[in-house]
Amino acid sequence: MDLVPALEEPLRQPLKSVLGPATAKVMAEHLGLLTVGDLLHHYPRRYEERGQLTQLADLPMDEHVTVVAQVADARLHTFASAKAPRGKGQRLEVTITDGSGRLQLVFFGAGVHKPHKELLPGTRAMFAGKVSVFNRRLQLAHPAYELLRGDPEESVETWAGALIPIYPATAKLESWKIGKAIQTVLPTAQEAVDPLPDSLREGRGLVPLPEALLKIHRPHTRADIEDARSRLKWDEAFVLQVALARRRHADAQLPAVAREPSPDGLLTAFDARLPFTLTEGQQRVSREIFADLATEHPMHRLLQGEVGSGKTMVALRAMLAVVDAGGQAAMLAPTEVLAQQHHRSIVEMLGELAEGGMLGGAEQATKVVLLTGSMGTAARRQALLDLTTGEAGIVIGTHALIEDKVQFHDLGLVVVDEQHRFGVEQRDALRGKGKQPPHLLVMTATPIPRTVAMTVFGDLETSVLDQLPAGRSPIASHVVPAADKPHFLARAWERVREEVENGHQAYVVCPRIGDEEDDPKKAGRKKPQESPEDAAEKRPPLAVLDVADHLAKGPLQGLRVEVLHGRMHPDDKDAVMRRFAAGETDVLVATTVIEVGVNVPNATAMVIMDADRFGVSQLHQLRGRVGRGSAPGLCLLVTEMPEASAARQRLNAVASTLDGFELSRIDLEQRREGDVLGQAQSGARTSLRMLAVIEDEEIIAEARQEATAVVAEDPELTRLPALRTALDALLDEEREQYLEKG
């Protein structure tokens, strides 16, 4: 964060390395730490107290942990195996305890000799490894360890102070080795330049940055840690909010064409056709959007709402308003299936209003065209012509809309569906097609908690649709533990049959297609003493083609089963979707191509195989495909993960609530804060190391206010060079582009 020569120094250089070359290499490759500054900002995850031990009882499954504990007993066993047929195989089992629980460590083969000599009963040490389950007991296999002798010969410096920092580590580099590396570079913390304006720091009673860095890595008391955390959280929140505030400030200076619907134009005619009343939420959000469209600088609005809350209707009304005002509107969809579906449903909703220039079209009608990569040449040429002449008021398309050949007569509004699927460059290219910057409406069906929206989309105004339209049915969700209770899975297929017998349809979702070449090298390798959890993790995810075949020949024999996945030809995909929508298919076995926008009201059941392989928000999205009609929906989450695992807790959370905003909070708390900044699109590492977006809502809101005031007064930050430096470091080139393009 601080671009100061001492802190900019690379950890690995050809001539002299700050650390050993091997350590520096692992830090770069596995932790993304390249400079002294990066290392100083690699903060401890938690601290151990000498007199107080980790709660072994609370160890998380599947995580890389570091624990401080005492050896209770150690036993060496010999056994026969393929490699040691004469009973010469050796296994060392060490039980450690911390008073709250016990944990077994296992070492095999040649790896038993050193721990057998060193890990004697009564010895205290730090142990690091991945928690797994074997014979229903927690264990660490081949953990790394560091003895805590506490004798005068022990490098007292390393363990000075009562608090031992435990760092986020990797299997290649244990926490205590990272700690030692940080002790080496800690003196340079004195040279860190403080990005916070003095008035802000003093006004909020925050410690200076060099002091915060010393206290976070070498605290003497819990109060030191609190001081350091408060300060470092403010750094992250404030610098990020300044970046977003500058972006908002710059956008407010851009010109745009104000677009106001004519009183008796297309929008009025469309509203008159609607067979239902808009929900209060839809009316409120439409008013917010129309107010933005009527201004002379570009709208930047995020429209988020529950699955099925009617976002498409709101977006369509915004597009009609722009067409009314003489402009064109483009809707960008992430997949061809979705673009075709949007086009079909919009043309249906508009009726004769979508038949501009055609016999029988209404007087105010416009033309709605579809543009995708797989269209035939003639249809494509006609669509491009309609866009250039302005004949088509609305275009719906995929990435094909972004190509250089596509020219608009007067692009006034860009609607991006499912924002998280689109790279920044693509949105930017489309926005560049207007004579002046067009208005932008971003829709997402993954509800985002308010603070996250402020952190990630701090430059967008946010509108939320939290009511479901009348007539939507409740969805019951259940976890099906296939490994513990195989009869539950058999019952799941019976439920699917029952739904079909009642005249409904079902989806079965799998994480993989199944036509890939599996790596023969990886097949048939099994680790010694592999836990059931590891086995479930390591087998390839279930695949559409295999599951469809198994179902058609077995549990769902006699039903009409079809498959749908992303590698099919677009025409085939469209044909499968049409048959399913028409009720000619009973069960559709698909990948996540059905995740967004697919609307088949007669589909009432969904079975998600290997549900633990999907994220919380994705499961919520998928589940939103059922219960879209008058019959209640059913979603079954099938998993082989054991009950104690984090994956099962995640699935239980999804099954227990239909509130997408609540689930997105759970998702974030579980995934930790690092995944927030949209790095998938910026390609940059996360800048949030200390700030937890959900916990630190207040800091983020206050930092936003402070940042807005600072930028209003001094947009170029000329009077705050240290803040400017910190900003440049946060917004390395890629992320700068990410924010600019938004």
SS3 assignment for 318-338: HHHHHHHCCCEEEEECCCHHH
Would you say 413 and 405 are in contact if contact means Cβ atoms under 8 Å apart?
no
363 pLDDT exceeds 70?
Answer: yes
User: What's the mean pLDDT in 537-545?
Assistant: 78
From 203-217, 387-401, 590-604, 725-739, the region with the lowest mean pLDDT? 725-739
- Token pair, residue 438, equals 């067009």
Classify 134 as helix, strand or coil. Answer: strand
Give the separation between CA 528 and CA 342, rounded to whole angstroms: 52
User: How far is C-alpha 692 from the geometric centre of its chain's CA atoms?
Assistant: 15
Would you say 165 and 178 are in contact if contact means Cβ atoms under 8 Å apart?
no
Q: What is the pLDDT of residues 659-675, one digit of tens each?
A: 877 787 777 666 544 44
Given strand 603-608, what is the order of strands in its sheet?
475-481, 633-639, 603-608, 505-509, 587-590, 561-564
Give the separation between CA 96 and CA 121, rounded to whole angstroms: 9
Q: What is the pLDDT of residues 50-65, one digit of tens each?
A: 444 446 767 777 666 7
pLDDT tier, 302 (very low <50, low <70, confident <90, very high otherwise): confident
pLDDT tier, 18 (very low <50, low <70, confident <90, very high otherwise): low
Most confident of 13-17, 130-134, 600-604: 600-604
Share of the chain above pLDDT 90, in %: 34
Q: What is the mean pLDDT of the chain?
A: 81
Per-residue pLDDT, 3: 41
349: exposed, middle or buried (C-beta count within 10 Å: 0-12, 13-18, 19+)?
A: middle
Q: What is the pLDDT of residues 415-459, one digit of tens each?
A: 988 655 555 566 667 777 878 889 989 887 667 776 666 666 666
527 pLDDT exceeds 50?
Answer: no
87 pLDDT exceeds 70?
Answer: no
Give the separation between CA 137 and CA 154, rounded to whole angstroms: 34
For 233, residues 6+ apart whose C-beta sits below 8 A from its C-beta are: 690, 691, 696, 699
What predicted TM-score, i.e. pTM, was given to this entire model? 0.65
Q: How far apart are the first and last CA of the chain?
A: 22
From 361-365, 395-399, 415-419, the region with the lowest mean pLDDT? 361-365
Give the separation between CA 69 and CA 76, rounded to whole angstroms: 20
pLDDT tier, 312 (very low <50, low <70, confident <90, very high otherwise): confident
User: What's the mean pLDDT in 279-307?
Assistant: 90
Q: What is the pLDDT of residues 62-86, one digit of tens each?
A: 666 778 788 999 999 887 666 666 6
Per-residue pLDDT, 213: 94
DSSP for 19-38? S-HHHHHHHHHHH---BHHH
712 pLDDT exceeds 90?
Answer: yes
Per-residue pLDDT, 666: 77
